[in-house]
Amino acid sequence: MALVNEHFLKLPGSYLFSDIAKKVNTFKITHPKQDIIRLGIGDVTRPLPKACTEAMHQAVEEMTSAETFRGYGPEQGYDFLIEAIIKNDYTPRGIHLSPTEVFINDGAKSDTGNIGDILRHDNSVGVTDPIYPVYIDSNVMCGRAGVLDTESGKWSNVTYMPCSSENQFIPAIPEKRIDIVYLCYPNNPTGTTLTKAELKKWVDYALANDTLILFDAAYEAYIQEPDIPHSIYEIKGAKKCAIEFRSFSKTAGFTGMRCGYTIVPKELTAATLEGERIPLNRLWNRRQCTKFNGTSYITQRAAEAIYTPEGKEQIQETINYYMTNARIMKEGLESTGLKVYGGVNAPYLWVKTPNGASSWRFFDQMLYEANVVGTPGVGFGPSGEGYIRLTAFGERNDCIEAMRRIKNWL
């Protein structure tokens, strides 16, 4: 008899965005004539940059000829993309990486979920709260998160570091030692950031406590202010304590293409029970070679084109479009008297619900009375209660119309 992984049974009945989809579908059935504006799930709406599609067409043509056809590629990614990443994303910031420290993937979500494969199941975990659900759920699946307290919404083996308006969304450094800490900046869902000085505190903590930082920098391209680090490796010593995840999904509209990368420095190690230090780069490479067949050649050629002069210009136009949406939305929401956070260095707006309304209650009210869909903050963790997340990835006219509806409603 085959036995199931019973840790999966500890997970909530459905993923956050599945619950939202069910509520929206119910509304559509009962209100078929109402036009819904979706500002909830962070999918993009702008088309792929022309430089990327042209590179894809060229790669497809190569596949039609025996002389240029590509079969299985390297699990770690093609050198042409890895070299472009190092040259453009890291070298200009004074960060020196070896090509073997860069691993191309099919998006940051996969690797942030899978990185736990190379770490013991009984490591303690720390997360900023609220947080991207994948970090928690992937630890639940392997048993690392412990047991859920249904009353508090917290897992027994997870340390929650609240981020709210009371602490300017800056998580406090833990008073105890934690094995693994997840940081995401610019932050999803709050849209807030850490300065270099604040991030240095985390690196110092990790070095002092032999803590591994899993740093999600998927939204770094949206940073507008000068004192906000784009990479954790801008902080001295971070290569000894941090893995960094990045994605082309929101940077270049690759949500349907699927491509990103993970940095695992060679000097980063973790311990066995006997105290032997093991390079995590070696373990991750072994994991990838076993479980991952690599991102397609055509997709990687499209990603490489991001770094051409034309690609950079086109991507900046897209980022400017979304950040203009964020400004329009932030100004519109604030004009109604709502408290709004984020939206300056990230395309997410974290909105405080008025009059003490719960996240789900405000979600329902906004759906039924303004026909606008957001994401309930409590779905991202206990500290998200009383907030709702809106994204700036929509069409410009939809963002403007959504603000008009919300103003009229409130």
Task: Tell whether 287 and 345 lie within a shared domain.
Answer: no
Task: Tell whether 246 and 321 lie within a shared domain.
Answer: no
CATH code at position 378: 3.90.1150.10
* Tens-place pLDDT, residues 22-52: 999 999 999 999 999 999 878 999 999 999 9
247 assigned to a ligand binding site: yes
Q: What is the mean pLDDT of the chain?
A: 96
Residue 7 lies in a domain: no
Above pLDDT 90, what percent of the chain?
A: 96
Task: Tell whether 351 and 400 lie within a shared domain.
Answer: yes
Give the domain-ending residue among 307, 342, 364: 307
The CA distance from 239 to 167, in Å, is: 28
How far from the centroid of its chain's Cα atoms is residue 300's Cα? Answer: 20
132 assigned to a ligand binding site: yes
pLDDT category, 405, cuts 50, 70, 90?
A: very high
Q: Could you tell me which residue, 104 or 12, shows the higher pLDDT?
A: 104
pLDDT category, 300, cuts 50, 70, 90?
A: very high
Task: Tell whether 163 and 135 lie within a shared domain.
Answer: yes
Give the domain-ending residue among 267, 285, 307: 307
Domain count, the chain: 2
pLDDT category, 380, cuts 50, 70, 90?
A: very high
Contact between residue 128 and residue 181 where contact means Cβ atoms under 8 Å apart: no
109 assigned to a ligand binding site: yes
Using a 10 angstrom Cβ sphere, with 0-12 exposed, 13-18 middle and 19 or more buried, the burial of residue 149 is exposed
Domain region containing 258: 54-307
The CA distance from 241 to 218, in Å, is: 19
Tell me the Ramachandran region of residue 207: left when phi exceeds 0, alpha when psi lies from -120 to 50, beta otherwise: alpha
Task: Tell whether 200 and 321 lie within a shared domain.
Answer: no
pLDDT of 12: 82
Task: Tell whether 337 and 287 lie within a shared domain.
Answer: no
pLDDT of 42: 82
114 assigned to a ligand binding site: no
The CA distance from 252 to 188, in Å, is: 17
Residue 14 has pLDDT above 80, yes or no: no
pLDDT of 342: 97
Task: Tell whether 103 and 221 lie within a shared domain.
Answer: yes
pLDDT category, 348, cuts 50, 70, 90?
A: very high
Task: Tell whether 124 and 242 lie within a shared domain.
Answer: yes
108 assigned to a ligand binding site: yes
Task: Tell whether 171 and 236 lie within a shared domain.
Answer: yes
Task: Tell whether 292 and 333 lie within a shared domain.
Answer: no
* Residue with token string 């962070």: 42
* Tens-place pLDDT, residues 114-170: 999 999 999 999 999 999 999 999 999 999 999 999 899 999 999 999 999 999 999
pLDDT category, 187, cuts 50, 70, 90?
A: very high
258 assigned to a ligand binding site: yes
The CA distance from 321 to 47, in Å, is: 12
Contact between residue 300 and residue 83 where contact means Cβ atoms under 8 Å apart: no
42 assigned to a ligand binding site: yes
Residue 5 lies in a domain: no
Task: Tell whether 39 and 58 lie within a shared domain.
Answer: no
pLDDT of 19: 86
Residue 48 lies in a domain: no
Residue 186 has pLDDT above 80, yes or no: yes
Q: What are phi and psi of 245, to 5 degrees?
A: -115, 135
Taking residue 42's Cβ as centre, other Cβ atoms within 10 Å add up to 21
188 assigned to a ligand binding site: yes
pLDDT category, 295, cuts 50, 70, 90?
A: very high
Task: Tell whether 232 and 254 lie within a shared domain.
Answer: yes
Residue 144 lies in a domain: yes
Give the domain-ending residue among 280, 307, 334: 307
CATH code at position 67: 3.40.640.10
